[in-house]
Amino acid sequence: MCIKKNVVKPPSSLKYNLEDPEKHDYSQFQEGLYLLEYFKNKKNGTFIEVGALDGEFLSNTLILEKELGWTGLLIEPNPEQYKLLSSKNRKAFHANCCLSKTTTPTEAFLEPKYRRGEGTRVITRERIYFENEVPFSIWVKCYPPLFFDGLRQFGNSRFTFTRY
């Protein structure tokens, strides 16, 4: 399987399409400002952000992209959030999938939360079949982190910042 071609989409060359383009830090608790201070003037670094939501709301990496010219990989399993992420024209690779603990690709049954920023949770088969709980949920492809390691297949040798 060629994960680059089938799963990971390239960075956008278009102008950002953000809800609040003038905002400086998009993170929840000023993590973005901390990262900016921590990495000081390090230009052109690479990151991975898992649970990227729409690519703007609560983003810890957008500030690195805008201020320091970083790029990386944004991973978002929720198809609705991923569609929004794709429309933001981020300057990073992005994938609509989740990370797995296995060494090979697998699938997970995810239950999207109802409010933006609440994320998703894994639904076990036992909850579905034995407790008769069938929430609004989706099957999502999941890949081991090794599949994305260092973005070697995208021309980068290692990540500067990783947030799991």
Please provide the CATH number assigned to the domain covering 3-97+146-162.
3.40.50
Dihedral angle computed from the Cα positions of residues 122, 126, 129 and 134, in that order, rounded to the nearest 10 degrees? -30
Burial of 3 (0-12, 13-18, 19+ CB in 10 A): middle
- What are residue 122's phi and psi, to 5 degrees? -80, 135
Kindly list the averaged pLDDT for each block of 10 residues, start to end, along the chain of length 164: 70 97 94 94 90 95 96 91 97 92 84 55 51 64 76 55 47
pTM: 0.79
Largest CA distance in the chain: 54
Tokens at 13, concatenated:
């060359």
Q: Which two tokens stand for residue 135?
A: 């929430």
